[in-house]
Amino acid sequence: MEAPYIVIVSTGSEITAGRSLDTNSGWMANQLFELGWKVKKFIALPDDPDLILSELQVLKELTETRPVLVLMTGGLGPTEDDYTLETVLKLSGKKSYSVEKAKIRLQRIYESRGKQYSDILPTVLRQTHVPEDCKTLDNTVGIAVGFVEPIGPNSYLVCMPGVPSEMKEMFKRRLVPELKRIYPRENLVQRTKWLWNIGESLYQKDFVEALREELFKNVDWGVTANRGYIKCIFQSTDSKQLDTIIQRLEAQYPKIISDDVFEFVHEYLLVEKLTIAVGESCTGGLLGKKLTDSPGSSSYFVGGFLTYSNQMKESLLGVPRDTLNNFGAVSKETAEAMAKGISEKTKADYCVSITGIAGPDGGTELKPVGTVWIGLKTPDGSIQTHSYLFPGNREGIRENASNTALFLLYQSLKQRNV
Amino acid sequence: MEAPYIVIVSTGSEITAGRSLDTNSGWMANQLFELGWKVKKFIALPDDPDLILSELQVLKELTETRPVLVLMTGGLGPTEDDYTLETVLKLSGKKSYSVEKAKIRLQRIYESRGKQYSDILPTVLRQTHVPEDCKTLDNTVGIAVGFVEPIGPNSYLVCMPGVPSEMKEMFKRRLVPELKRIYPRENLVQRTKWLWNIGESLYQKDFVEALREELFKNVDWGVTANRGYIKCIFQSTDSKQLDTIIQRLEAQYPKIISDDVFEFVHEYLLVEKLTIAVGESCTGGLLGKKLTDSPGSSSYFVGGFLTYSNQMKESLLGVPRDTLNNFGAVSKETAEAMAKGISEKTKADYCVSITGIAGPDGGTELKPVGTVWIGLKTPDGSIQTHSYLFPGNREGIRENASNTALFLLYQSLKQRNV
């Protein structure tokens, strides 16, 4: 079957008024790319039922010439300006019904808060409604049920909540299996590798362009830029060809290549029953936050120190005043002393320290904004230190620093594995 | 004159592939909103000249029934996949010419880099080109010239670079005066308040619906949901009416209303030279991260403790083992002891502790997932504690908890202010 013409529609006046950034569309486009599909268009509309309906009518007309897949988010909430269901019913001429499972779930939520079924407002109950004769998509995070409405030959309108956590869960668990069923693809294989502290244009020139003739026939590639790393994605029906590409990539970038660092670190520490603790200066808690993003992290994450001021570096982590005076808070020596202090206070197997200048102020000629030292104490007691000059603004530098610290940890764990 | 039907078009395959977030459209919509204009639609398209042309043709047809303003960014750069000029020339049937001033500027830039005019590649020179008979928009940051192309009665297509710094400067300095000249308007005023731990539907029913007749004539309102709070936005040309609404809102929700908590806490601690320290369990560093998001936070943020394990609560913050055993890690008593410990170790004026169950595991009947205790030690030495049952998944609970901790701090600082 022909690949569908994919359009992503976001509804919400907060988006078209510029009060909220639409992050859903990009996220979905990225996920779809990993399934082998490219998006033709994003559309964002205010909460205006006439505008939404006329846009959907235009998209429905498109289905006369090709398969169309419309992914729409937003407008399924409990407020007056949530128009998605109403609009889809107008578009299809259908009626709606309340999904029993969702109604029971809503009731349980109300009861757990000491309220009764009769307390549920009609607009809240409306969230359990979907059009007749369509595939429903369960919401396991929030209330509003999603659905897949047929709009033409091999064409569908998918409606999902605009709350990112609800949409993402629904997309991955409920929608993707459905899409794979509707639009079967040849067995497309995908490989992903991460490269650290390299620009996407340089990678593109040195690797993809250089090897295009030799290796990239029948292979689709993509790259997504993140803070500190780029994700290199390769897709093909020929898995051997992909293996060859990955081998070449590993040979060309042996020192900066990795798999999914977050996943690996989580799994490895969990399985090997190792512990970790942190000491953060410029990242102010961001590394700790990242290390505790996944459920179960309490098995390995012991704790940490946010030593933002020099005084705290001294009193909490025992960094000698002489070290701070002679070398400065952002130095190899301080990163080392911090790692040592974390280890002494927590006895964790791995201890990571970060100290740097996130800016926009505080930079000097010798230590410009973006300078970051990272220390890593390993179970054998040795402490390695690394320095970086990260690009970007304050937020970028902080993200870069904490991601890179996790990469260093990854490398150390990998080596242990060998 | 009738307000124009405004559409914002962003071009760039990096956007529709989900590799880059389109922040330009929201920024422009926000600027336009402050000028009193609402945007009807955002569109993002890949770098595909056929798709772009057909979209512009559809928009041009709209001008037959009303004034249309299309703001398009991207595709004016020097690379192969920059199609904007070419597409607009096809749309209008016009030719282009090189803007003399821009050509001279480009030449000077090349000379300052020790290069000659003849070194300039044709694709780079193309950036100085605009269609005949249109208003040009100077670029004072980069090279590519913007332009305002008439596409119908009182209707225009504005083309600007996609690089945010270039677009923003061009928008504010060149385009806004032009728009004000073309579409004169009255002045619109905006007010925003935050309400904590209340659903948007309840707020809408109890406040907006209840007072619609009395207060909301000539007032536009909007609400955006965030983790822990909703933002209530009001707009009108009548600023006294807005003042009345804000007074009523404050009277109705005296305990849960706030201004921008992040901004207030930052400014207040900075100006009053107060210090703060944190102790985090379930949020794992997220509160510290939020407190250090803004430049200058080193003046007030002393540091903190990530006491994820009970052992660390004991050894780093001196929480008595009896307290942990008798009341549990997630309890009023532990939150209190943590706040006390932070204070003793850091001597900060304000000390915030968070301990809770972020899930998905670890909940019990008495303390379900989402249970969070927050402790706050104020400069007078007293410690207040608050308990919550936050909804959502792990990420939501952690965001909720750290935002709410900042709200409690806000309230305490506000009281001090009185």
- Can you give the CATH number for the domain in which A205 is found? 3.30.70
Q: Select from B161, B182, B203 the last residue of a domain.
A: B182
Q: Cα torsion for A361, A363, A369, A375, to the nearest 10°?
A: -120
CA distance B91 to B86: 9
Q: Which residues of B69-101 are buried (b: 16+ CB within 10 A; e: fewer)?
A: bbbbbbbbbeeeebbbbbbbbebbeeebeebee
DSSP state of B297: G
Which of A158, A182, A206 is the C-terminal boundary of a domain? A182
The answer on A34 and A175 residing in a single domain is yes
**Nearest chain A residue to B231, by CA:** A19
Give yes or no: residues B394 and B323 share one domain: yes
Distance CA B173, CA A74 (A): 34
Q: How far apart are CA A345 and CA B80, in angstroms?
A: 57
Distance from CA of A194 to the nearest CA of B (A): 14
Residue A417, pLDDT score:
65
- Decide if B41 and A26 are in contact by the 8 Å CB cutoff: no
Q: Which SS3 state, helix, strand or coil, does residue A192 take?
A: strand
Measure in Å the smallest separation between the Cα of A418 and chain B Cα atoms: 30
B31 and A23 in contact by Cβ < 8 A?
no
CA distance B368 to B362: 8
The reply to whether B252 and B279 lie within a common domain is no
Are A407 and A384 found together in one domain? yes
Residue A176 makes CB contacts below 8 A (sequence gap 6+) with: A31, A35
Q: Is the pLDDT higher at A139 or at B33?
A: A139
Q: What is the 3-state secondary structure (H, E, C) of A137-180?
A: ECCCCCCCCEEEEEEECCEEEEEECCCHHHHHHHHHHHHHHHHH
The C-alpha of A363 sits at a distance from chain B's nearest C-alpha, in angstroms, of: 12
For A310-321, what is the mean pLDDT? 96
Could you tell me which of B389, B347, B348, B354 has the C-alpha nearest to residue B375?
Answer: B354
For helices B394-417 and B261-271, give the axis angle rounded to 10 degrees.
50
Please list the alpha-helical segments (H only) found in B197-272. 200-203, 210-215, 239-252, 261-271
Cα A196 to the center of its chain, rounded Å: 17
CA-based nearest residue in chain A for residue B36: A17
Q: First and final CA of chain A: distance in angstroms?
A: 45
A32 contacts on B by Cβ (under 8 Å): 18
- How many C-beta atoms lie closer than 10 Å to residue B66's C-beta? 14
Residue A84: predicted pLDDT: 96
Domain of A71: which CATH number? 3.40.980.10
Q: pLDDT confidence of A80, banded at 50, 70, 90?
A: confident
CB contact under 8 A, B22 and A26: yes
> Of A11-25, A272-286, B141-155, B179-193, which gets the smallest average pLDDT?
B179-193
**3-state helix/strand/coil string of B91-108:** HHCCCEEECHHHHHHHHH
The answer on pLDDT for A418 being more than 70 is no
Last residue of a domain, one of A258, A274, A305: A258
pLDDT tens, residue by residue, A355-385: 999 998 999 989 999 999 999 999 999 999 9
Rounded-to-integer distance, Cα B344 and Cα A380, Å: 33
Q: C-alpha angle A259/A265/A270, rounded to 5°?
A: 135
- ipTM at complex level: 0.75
Q: What is the pLDDT of residue B348?
A: 97
Kindly identify which residue of chain A lies nearest to residue B296, measuring between CA atoms: A361
The pLDDT assigned to B417 comes to 64
Owner of token pair 């979907």: A130
Range of the domain at A336: 261-417
Same domain, B222 and B238: yes
User: Is residue B328 located within the same domain as residue B227?
Assistant: no
The beta-carbon neighbor of B224 closest among A20, A287, A316 is A20
Residues of chain B with pLDDT under 50: none
Query: Average of pLDDT values for A47-68?
Result: 96
CA B236 to CA B226: how far, in whole Å? 24
SS3 B165: helix
Pair A312, A402 in one domain: yes
Which residues 6+ apart lie within 8 Å of B214 measured at CB? none
CB A208 within 8 A of CB A171: no
> What angle, rounded to 10 degrees, do the helices at A310-317 and A332-346 form?
40
Q: How many domains does chain B have?
A: 3
**Rounded to a whole number, what is the distance in Å from the CA of A214 to chain B's nearest CA?**
23
The predicted pLDDT at position B184 comes to: 76
The residue with tokens 């032009």 is: B178
- Beta bridge mates, A98: A129
- Which residue of B38, B297, B359 is in closest CB contact with A295? B359
Asked whether the beta carbons of A288 and A280 are under 8 A apart, the reply is yes
Tokens found for residue A72? 């729409």
Mutate which: B16, B220, B273, vs A, most A CBs within 10 A: B16
pLDDT at position B341: 98
Asked if the peptide bond before residue B360 counts as cis, ω within 30 degrees of 0, the response is yes
Predicted pLDDT of residue B9: 98
CA B165 – CA B142 distance, rounded (Å): 9
Which residues of chain B does A316 touch, with a Cβ-Cβ cutoff of 8 Å? 303, 305, 345
* Alpha-carbon Rg for chain B in angstroms: 28
Give the model's pLDDT for residue B68: 97
Q: Inter-chain contact A123–B201, Cβ cutoff 8 Å?
A: yes
Strands B39-45 and A39-45: antiparallel
Report the range of poorest mean pLDDT among A197-201, A222-226, A256-260, B122-126: A222-226
A384 CB neighbour count, 10 Å cutoff: 15
Q: What is the mean pLDDT of chain A?
A: 93
* Share above pLDDT 90 across residues of chain A, in percent, rounded to a whole number: 75
DSSP line for B52-76? HHHHHHHHHHHTTTS-EEEEEES--
Dihedral over Cα of B71, B191, B210, A162: its sign? positive
Residues A137, A164, single domain; the answer is yes
Structural tokens at position A108 = 């349980």
Residues in chain B, how many?
A: 418
> Same domain for A397 and A328?
yes
Number of other residues whose CB lies within 10 A of the CB of residue A362? 18
What is the rounded end-to-end Cα distance, in angstroms, of chain B? 48
B128 DSSP assignment:
G
* Same-domain status, B25 and B87: yes
Nearest chain B residue to A124 by CA: give it.
B201
Say if residue B144 is in the same domain as residue B91: yes
Task: Please give the Cα distance from A392 to B5 (Å, whole number).
Answer: 36
Work out the minimum CA distance from B8 to partner chain A, whole angstroms. 9
> Mean pLDDT throughout A47-54?
96
The domain that holds B284 is classified in CATH as 3.90.950.20
Structure confidence at residue B186 (pLDDT): 64
Rounded CA gap, B88 and B145, in Å?
14
Contact A284 B285 (CB under 8 A): yes
B42 and A38 within 8 Å at the Cβ level: the answer is: no
Instruction: State which H helix or E strand residue B223 sits in.
Output: strand B220-225
Measure the CA–CA gap between A171 and A178, rounded to whole angstroms.
10
Domain co-membership, A225 together with A329: no
pLDDT of residue B241: 95
